[in-house]
Each structure stands twice: as C-alpha cells, then as structure tokens.
Amino acid sequence: MQDSQEQNLDGHSAHITNEQQQELLARAKEAAASGDPGTMLAALYQSGVLDGLTRQIASKWRSLSLDEIGDIVAEAVDILYVAIRTGKKVLKLVPYLWKTSDHKACDYHSRRQNQSSLTSDDLERIPDQSSEVEDELDSSTKKQDWEEKRSRVIALVRSLLPRLGQQNIQNVMAYILDALEADCLDISNKEIAEALGLSSDTVRQSKHRAFQRLERIVREESLASKLNNFANLRLDYQ
C-alpha cells in the first residue's frame, strides 16, 4: 500500500491549479504572521512548493546530497517564518524561499569545496572539539561585528550613489539599499517599478547599469588607494 501510494505521488502528475497554489501560499503567510508554524508548513506542503524547491535545488546544485538539501530547505523555511513573524517585509514567499535556499546551497557547496581541498597535513591539524566551541564563539562574535559594520558599509555604498549618473539608476539602487538595510531578502523588479513609478524594463536596465558602475567605482577606488599607498611608500623610502 505504501509503495503504491509512493508510486502514485511520484509517478503521476498531481496538478493543482494556480489559484489553489496562490490561496495556499496566502494561507501560509497568514499562519506565519499569527505564529502558527504548523499551518504554515501544511499550506506550503499542500502547495507543492517544498517539493519543487527541493527538486530545483537538486538540479542546480548537483553535488549536494538529498540530506543536505533537506537541511537547506528547513533553514530557509525557518528564516521565512521568522521574517514574517517579526514583521519584516516578505512580499512573495516562493522567490524569498528560493533566494534564501540558493544562497545557503552556495555556502554548503563552497564549504564542501574547501573541505575537499584539505591535504593530509591539514587533516592532522584539525583542532579538537574544545577549540570547535571557541571557533563557534569566534564566528558568532565575527557575525555580530559584521552586523554592526554592515550598516556603516551600506552607508558608504549609499554615498557612492551620486556617482552612478542618471537619476533613475540612483533611485533604483537607493531603493535596493533601503531594502537591504531593512533585512529584506527579496525584492522584485515589479515592486521597485511600482514604488518608483517606472516600468519593469527601466528597472531591469537601471539595476544592471547600477551594479556595473558600482563595481567599477569600487575597483577604481581600490586601485587608486593601492597606488596612493605605493606612492607614499616610495616617498618614505626616498
């Protein structure tokens, strides 16, 4: 009986309509906002999103095991739940879940690559468990440090906005930085377009140019500062 049920669920299409899907996602969001994770989870599962998310991660990150993918989806659902529960802006659940999971999958992947590049000498130097606790504390301190620094860095990036040129480009980037500062994990072109009274196409182009220019400015600044340091060094030497 169990086998045949599995075969049925696995083997045959179990389509639900778009309307049903949207209704279930709305129910999931409402449940999360009212602190009812069980109902949120049931609605997410009923919508088929958890299945689709798992399969999508598996097809993009082929090196990850199903177990790791399960961990990633679990963490993403928890982050989503906390975000909605604490009143953070979450407009659409699926893009939010995808971006969170994709980012986590990237972390898992990088971690695995770092592990696989360890030599036998490295393995001998792996610290014992007591130093793992220290590492954890260290990493949590680092995280806290970064949280504090992050808003200063965002402010610094914001100060570069006038150098991006066209007003639309500046406005789009400013909107994205606002979202970042508010810990928003997903922001769509449509949302930016509606907020700024632009078309989605304009937002897409402005975004593209904004990032291109920002990166160029940062690169140039870095080069300039290196050249500056070099020049100072030379002067000292002379």
Contacting other proteins within 126-155 (CB under 8 A): 149-150, 153-154
Q: Quick one: which of 46, 168, 202, 205 contacts other proteins (CB under 8 A)?
A: 46
Interface mask toward other proteins for 200-219; x: CB under 8 A: ----x--x---x--xx--x-
Q: Quick one: which of 27, 30, 33, 41 contacts other proteins (CB under 8 A)?
A: 41
Alpha-carbon distances, residue 38 vs 85, 88, 228 (angstroms): 13, 20, 58
Q: Quick one: which of 33, 51, 88, 161 contacts other proteins (CB under 8 A)?
A: 51
Under DSSP, the state recorded for 63 is: T
CB nearer other proteins, residue 148 or residue 236: 148
Binding status of residue 112 toward other proteins by CB under 8 A: no
Site for other proteins in 67-96 (CB under 8 A): 70-71, 73-75, 77-78, 81-82, 85, 92, 94-95
> At closest approach, how far in Å is the CB of 222 from other proteins?
5
Q: Which long-range contacts (CB under 8 A, 24 or more apart) does 160-164 make?
A: 160/214, 160/217, 160/218, 163/213, 163/217, 164/209, 164/210, 164/213, 164/214
> At closest approach, how far in Å is the CB of 196 from other proteins?
13
